[in-house]
Amino acid sequence: MGQVTSLFCPRCGRTYDPTGSHESCEGCGAVLELAVNLDGLGRAERDALLASPERGLFRWWPFLPLADRACVVSLGEGDTPLLQAGRLGERLGLQRLYLKNDTVLPTGSLKDRSNAIGVSRAVELGVPLVAVVSTGNAAASVAAYAAAAGLRAIIMLPRETALGKVTQAAAHGAEIVAVDADYDATAKLFAAAVRAFGWYACLSNNPYRNEGKKSYAYELWEQLGGEAPEWIIHPTAGGLGVVATWKGFNELHTLGWVGRLPRMVAAQAAACAPIVEAYRSGSSDVQAVLAKATVAESIRVGYPKSLGWRAVRDIRKSGGTAVALEEAEIIEARDLLARHAGIYAEPAGAISLAAAARLREEGIISSRDLTICMITGHGLKQAELRAIPAPLASPIEPTLDSLRRRLEQEHPVAR
């Protein structure tokens, strides 16, 4: 159990030696996929997993593609809360709305799920350096895990990356290279650097790193008592969240541990929605789009070449959908999360809620459907966002009368 049995191309079926260093198919160029040996995982093993005192992502070791526990690099990722959002659900007309709160992961975003596996694999391979190109969240995550592992980290960032994310990556000692370009142009330069310098890349073309987000499926399965949701809505840039979560639930379904599969939803900003466009057009692949400015900067990727086609494929297989959200919808969702559920998320992390609201309004999600919104990034990562109102009004005099007047201005009935 837990050993990689094959490395194959999910598009053309070509197979590769799993002990080799292949990442992309030599025939069609698709990112390769790992198959993990799940033989021997029966009811007794299922019960043992559920009863285990171990917590975190690595408690799901039988499903993970690593061979040596001594090489694990962990910051305590995984086991994030699944919160029933009764007050928020009532407002949106969703009686069974849940929020998977990944804002509490070690570096504040979902990227920790992938990099816990990706950097652990780097340690297994004995590489001295890890690298990533990022809109910010992956930068902070790779930097933190590299620091914990004692590895050198090189981070390439586009010019418009949020300052909070740059600061976070720098705090961990990463070598940061800012590029005077958008993400897609920066990613092209990064790909050339990987080829030229032989860097170990923590990107979605790394089949090992991609297995980390399967943990979403296992955690949701446990937290829901073995039930699968009708809908899982994921903020989407490159598509890995959709692809990996779908793969994890399929593993559970193959084992007979879950009775049905969820419908997967990709939530993108209308300003940059290549996966939505491919889904709507009926295409089997994604095309590059102009990545316009959006408050959801973490998912502003105009050409998700590596896994976009697989996200479209898995959305269709699951009977799900893809939704493009306007800026006002994204900002409203961020505010609703903060004020009605107590979760402060960056706009890209809140876009799943915007999609849930839209799909409920359109009647695609029914009021009683068990719906999971993945909340993928903390608001402090983008605290300088101008759309957020100034948190402090002008100060008052230190008297009770001044306090009373201020309270009456804000809430006339408050005392």
Query: What percent of the chain lies above the pLDDT cut of 90?
Result: 82
Give the model's pLDDT for residue 415.
Answer: 39
Q: What is the mean pLDDT of residues 394-402?
A: 80
| 403 pLDDT more than 90 | no
Give the model's pLDDT for residue 298.
Answer: 93
Give the model's pLDDT for residue 164.
Answer: 81
Residue 55 lies in a domain: no
CATH number assigned to the domain comprising residue 291? 3.40.50.1100
Element (H, E) at 371: strand 371-375
**pLDDT tens digits, 124-134:** 999 999 999 99
Which tokens hold the place of 290? 């102009």
Max CA pair span of the chain: 76
Number of domains, the chain: 1
Q: What is the mean pLDDT of residues 361-375?
A: 98
Distances (CA, A) of 372 to 95, 230, 289, 319: 12, 8, 28, 16
Which tokens hold the place of 60? 């799901």
Give the model's pLDDT for residue 388.
Answer: 40
319, amino acid identity? G
Residue 57 lies in a domain: no
The residue among 222, 322, 235 whose CA lies nearest residue 279 is 322
Residue 267 lies in a domain: yes
Are the beta carbons of 354 and 330 closer than 8 angstroms? Answer: yes
Give the model's pLDDT for residue 162.
Answer: 79
The residue among 308, 367, 378, 302 whose CA lies nearest residue 337 is 378
Q: E strands of 9-95, at which residues?
A: 15-16, 33-36, 82-84
Are the beta carbons of 139 and 381 closer than 8 angstroms? Answer: no
Give the model's pLDDT for residue 69.
Answer: 96
Give the model's pLDDT for residue 50.
Answer: 95
Which tokens hold the place of 339? 């004020």
Give the model's pLDDT for residue 393.
Answer: 61
Residue 395 lies in a domain: no
Q: What angle do CA 142, 315, 287 make, to 5 degrees?
A: 70
User: pTM (2 decimals)?
Assistant: 0.93
Instruction: Point out which residues pair with 133 in neighbouring strands.
Output: 156
Give the model's pLDDT for residue 313.
Answer: 98
| 312 pLDDT more than 60 | yes
Name the band, by pLDDT with cuts 50, 70 and 90, for residue 90. Answer: very high
Distances (CA, A) of 157 to 161, 162, 184, 312: 7, 10, 10, 27
**pLDDT tens digits, 245-270:** 999 999 999 999 999 999 999 999 99
**pLDDT tens digits, 167-201:** 899 999 999 998 998 888 899 999 999 999 999 99
The three-state secondary structure class of 392 is coil
Taking the C-alpha atoms of residue 212 and residue 214, their distance in angstroms, rounded to an integer, is 5
How much is the mean pLDDT over the chain?
93
Residue 127 lies in a domain: no
Q: E strands of 27-126, at which residues?
A: 33-36, 82-84, 97-101
Supply the range of the domain harboring residue 232.
82-108+209-382
The residue among 358, 299, 400, 344 whose CA lies nearest residue 93 is 358
Q: What is the mean pLDDT of residues 105-124?
A: 97
Taking the C-alpha atoms of residue 84 and residue 313, their distance in angstroms, rounded to an integer, is 30
DSSP conformation class of 368: T
13-17, 88-92, 213-217: least confident range = 13-17
Residue 176 lies in a domain: no
Name the band, by pLDDT with cuts 50, 70 and 90, for residue 163. Answer: confident
Residue 376 lies in a domain: yes
Name the packing angle between helices 111-125 and 137-149 (round to 10°): 40
Per the document, the length of the chain is 415
Are the beta carbons of 148 and 113 closer than 8 angstroms? Answer: no
Residue 329 lies in a domain: yes
Taking the C-alpha atoms of residue 385 and residue 79, their distance in angstroms, rounded to an integer, is 29
Are the beta carbons of 44 and 67 closer than 8 angstroms? Answer: no
Are the beta carbons of 131 and 202 closer than 8 angstroms? Answer: yes
Are the beta carbons of 8 and 24 closer than 8 angstroms? Answer: no
The three-state secondary structure class of 150 is coil
| 386 pLDDT more than 50 | no
The residue among 334, 133, 322, 360 whose CA lies nearest residue 239 is 322
**pLDDT tens digits, 215-249:** 999 999 999 999 999 999 999 999 999 999 999 99
